[in-house]
C-alpha cells in the first residue's frame, strides 16, 4: 500500500505529525537549511544547525539525518534531507531527497513535508513522486507483510494541483512496478489483458483485446508464433485515451512477454531467473495510460501491447520457421530467444496504420544494451531527431536516464535472410542496434518512431534513490512527461 499524500495549510511549527522533513542545500561553509528548515531550527533554538555541524553533515541528495526536536515543535523528530548545491537545484534532487526520507522514516506513520520549499519549479510534484517511489514495497505475497509506513505524507503549505500531478506520476510508476513484480504464474497474457481492461474501464478509455482466433483472423502471426509453445495463449491489447480536442495522436507500444524462457533456444537457469521482467515495456505503457485520465493531456494516445509467454512447449516455434507478420513482411526465426522483436513487429506494423504522429515503443529487448550502457541507462533509438530530443527532455525532467544509440543503415545487411524478408538475429556484436534495425523495418514510411531498450533499467538488484529493488517501473514517467509536453 502506498502512503496517502495530502496537502495541509499548517506550518511545520504547528503540524501534528510523527516526523518533519526539511531540506538542506550544500554550500562551501556547510549545509544551509531551506527557509522552512530555518523556522524549525529557530523553534529549536539553533539545536538543529548545531547538530548538523557537530556530525559534519554533507547535504548530498539521498542523504538524510534524523534529529530529535525535544518538543520544540509537535513533531518529535525532524529529518534533514540533502538537496545538493543550491546553484544546481533540480527536481531530481528533490525527488531523490523525498525517496530517501521515506526510506529513513519507516518507523513514522505520518510525515509533514516541506521539501518543496525554496525548490525549483515542479519541486512539489517531484517530492510527491519521491515519497511514493521511496516508500514502495511489493508485499502482496508475504504472509506477514511489514507495517505500511509511512502511511500518510502531509505537504505543508504546498499547491494542491502540483502535488496531485506528482501523485499521478508516482502512482503510475508503482502500478508498473506491481505488474512487473507479480509472479509469472499469476501474470499471464490473459491476466495482463484483464488488468489492462480494468485500467481502461476505470479511466473511461475504450479497449479491445484480440484472443487467438482474432489474432489469426487479422494476421498477427508474430504474436501467435511466439505464443505457440505456451499453455497460456497470447493476446494483443489496445487502449484508447481520447481527449475532447487532441493536438496530436501518438501510439505507445510495450513489449509484454510475461515470461521469456527463450523458447527452444532455451536460456540457462541464471539468465531465466528474472524473466518475469520481460513485460516491463507493457507495464510502463499501462502505468502511463492509467494516469492520463487524471492528467488530461490534449493528446490522443493509443496504447498497444503484444502479450505472450515465450515457452518451449510441444508446438513451439522452431529455428528455421518463417513468420508472415501483420502487414505482410516475412521474417526468418533463427533464434527463438529473439522473440521480443517478433511480437513488436506485428504491433509496430499495426500502430503504423493508425494515423499517428509518432510511435514510441518500450521493450526489454536485448541483453546487449546492458553491455553497452550498464544497468542504469536506457538505450534510445530513433529515426527522428526531434522526437529523440523530446524524449531526452522528458527523461531529464523525470530523473531517468537514456542515451541515444545509432541506427547505422549498413549494419542492416547482417539481417538479410536467404528465405524471408529479414532474419531475427545477426552477428555477434552490436546486438541492440541490430534489434532496433529489425524493428525499424516494420515502422511505416515517414512516421517518427523511437524505441527505448529498457533491458538494463527495468529491474534493479538493490534499492537506491527513487529506484526500488525488483521492477523499477522505468520509462513510465518519461512517457507521461513526453505526452504532457506534446499536449
Cβ contact 361:347 at 8 Å: yes
Contact 259, 184 (CB under 8 A): yes
Long-range contacts of 193-199 (CB under 8 A, 24+ apart): 193/235, 193/237, 193/307, 195/286, 196/237, 196/239, 196/286, 196/303, 196/305, 199/175, 199/239, 199/286, 199/289, 199/290
Given 230, 366, 382, 474, the residue binding ligand BES (CB under 6 A): 366
Q: Which stretch binds ligand BES (CB under 6 A): 3-11, 183-191, 331-339, 406-414?
A: 331-339
Question: Among residues 341, 423, 459, 477, which one is catalytic?
Answer: 341
Nearest to 13 by CA among 22, 23, 4: 22
Q: Does 309 bind Mn ion (CB under 5 A)?
A: no
Which one of Zn ion, ligand BES, Mn ion, none interacts with residue 335, CB within 5 to 8 A by kind?
ligand BES
Q: Which residues contact 339 (CB under 8 A, 6 or more apart)?
A: 226, 257, 260, 263, 308, 310
Closest alpha carbon to 483 in 176, 170, 205, 249: 249
425 binds, among ligand BES, Mn ion, Zn ion, none (CB under 5 to 8 A by kind): ligand BES
Q: How many CB atoms lie within 10 A of CB 456?
A: 24
Taking CB under 6 A as the criterion, the residue among 22, 132, 253, 425 binding ligand BES is: 425
Q: Is 337 a binder of Mn ion (CB under 5 A)?
A: yes
State the nearest-atom distance from the C-beta of 339 to Mn ion, in Å: 5
- Rounded (5°) CA angle 315-316-320: 115
Of the candidates 260, 332, 346, 453, which one interacts with Zn ion according to CB under 5 A?
Answer: 260
Residue 136 Cβ, how far from ligand BES at the closest point, in Å?
21
Under the criterion CB under 5 A, does residue 340 sit at the interface with Zn ion?
A: yes
When binding is defined by CB under 6 A, the residue of 278, 346, 400, 484 that contacts ligand BES is: 278
Q: Work out whether 260 is an interface residue with Mn ion (CB under 5 A).
A: yes
Cell numbers placing 354: 493508425
Among 335, 383, 417, 464, binds ligand BES (CB under 6 A): 335
The interface mask with ligand BES, positions 443-462, x = CB under 6 A, is: ------------x-------
Dihedral sign, Cα of residue 354, residue 304, residue 458, residue 427: negative
Residues 461 and 469: beta-carbon distance below 8 Å = yes
Q: 34 or 308, CB closer to ligand BES?
A: 308
The footprint of ligand BES (CB under 6 A) covers 260, 278, 335, 337-340, 364-368, 425, 431, 455
The footprint of Zn ion (CB under 5 A) covers 257, 260, 278, 340
The footprint of Mn ion (CB under 5 A) covers 260, 337, 339
Active site residues per annotation:
267, 341
Amino acid at each position: 500500500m502506498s502512503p496517502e499524500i495530502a496537502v495541509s495549510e499548517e506550518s511545520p511549527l504547528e503540524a501534528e505529525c510523527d516526523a518533519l522533513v526539511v531540506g538542506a542545500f550544500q554550500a562551501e561553509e556547510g549545509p544551509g537549511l531551506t527557509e522552512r528548515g530555518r523556522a524549525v531550527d529557530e523553534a529549536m533554538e539553533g539545536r538543529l544547525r548545531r547538530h548538523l555541524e557537530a556530525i559534519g553533515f554533507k547535504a548530498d541528495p539521498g542523504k538524510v539525518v534524523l534529529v530529535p526536536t525535544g518538543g520544540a515543535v509537535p513533531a518529535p523528530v525532524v529529518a534533514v534531507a540533502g538537496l545538493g548545491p543550491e546553484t544546481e537545484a533540480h527536481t531530481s534532487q528533490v525527488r531523490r531527497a523525498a525517496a530517501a526520507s521515506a526510506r529513513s522514516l519507516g518507523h513514522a506513520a505520518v510525515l509533514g513535508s516541506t521539501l518543496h520549499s525554496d525548490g525549483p519549479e515542479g519541486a512539489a510534484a517531484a517530492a510527491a513522486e519521491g515519497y511514493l517511489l521511496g516508500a514502495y514495497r511489493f508485499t502482496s505475497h508475504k504472509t506477514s507483510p511489514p507495517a505500511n509506513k509511512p502511511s500518510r505524507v502531509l505537504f505543508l503549505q504546498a499547491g494542491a494541483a502540483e502535488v496531485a500531478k506528482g501523485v499521478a506520476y508516482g502512482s503510475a510508476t508503482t502500478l508498473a512496478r506491481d505488474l512487473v513484480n507479480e509472479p509469472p504464474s499469476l501474470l499471464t497474457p490473459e491476466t495482463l489483458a484483464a488488468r489492462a481492461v480494468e485500467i481502461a474501464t476505470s479511466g473511461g478509455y475504450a479497449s479491445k483485446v484480440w484472443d487467438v482466433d482474432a489474432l489469426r483472423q487479422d494476421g498477427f502471426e508474430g504474436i501467435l508464433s511466439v505464443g505457440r509453445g505456451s499453455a497460456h495463449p497470447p493476446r494483443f491489447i489496445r487502449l484508447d485515451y481520447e481527449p475532447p480536442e487532441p493536438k496530436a495522436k501518438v501510439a505507445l507500444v510495450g513489449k509484454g512477454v510475461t515470461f521469456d524462457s527463450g523458447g527452444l533456444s532455451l536460456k540457462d537457469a541464471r539468465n531465466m531467473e528474472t524473466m518475469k521482467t520481460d513485460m516491463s515495456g507493457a507495464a510502463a505503457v499501462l502505468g502511463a495510460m492509467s494516469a492520463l485520465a487524471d492528467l488530461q493531456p490534449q493528446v490522443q494516445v493509443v496504447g498497444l501491447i503484444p502479450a505472450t509467454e515465450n515457452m518451449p512447449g510441444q508446438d513451439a516455434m522452431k529455428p528455421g520457421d518463417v513468420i508472415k507478420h501483420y502487414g505482410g513482411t516475412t521474417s526468418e526465426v533463427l533464434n527463438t530467444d529473439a522473440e521480443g522483436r517478433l511480437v513488436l513487429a506485428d504491433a509496430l506494423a499495426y500502430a503504423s496504420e493508425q494515423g499517428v504522429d509518432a510511435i514510441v515503443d518500450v521493450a526489454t529487448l536485448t541483453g546487449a544494451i546492458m553491455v553497452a550502457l550498464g544497468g542504469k541507462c536506457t538505450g534510445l533509438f530513433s529515426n527522428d531527431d526531434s522526437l529523440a530530443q523530446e524524449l531526452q527532455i522528458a527523461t531529464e525532467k523525470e530523473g531517468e536516464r537514456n542515451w541515444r544509440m545509432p541506427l547505422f543503415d549498413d549494419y542492416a545487411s547482417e539481417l538479410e535472410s536467404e528465405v524471408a524478408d529479414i532474419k531475427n538475429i545477426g552477428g555477434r556484436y552490436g546486438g541492440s542496434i541490430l534489434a532496433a534495425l529489425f524493428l525499424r523495418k516494420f515502422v511505416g514510411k515517414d512516421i517518427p518512431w523511437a524505441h527505448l531498450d529498457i533491458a538494463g533499467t527495468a529491474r534493479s538488484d538493490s534499492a537506491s534513490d527513487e529506484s526500488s529493488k525488483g521492477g523499477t517501473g522505468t520509462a513510465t514517467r518519461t512517457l507521461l512527461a513526453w505526452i504532457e509536453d506534446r499536449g
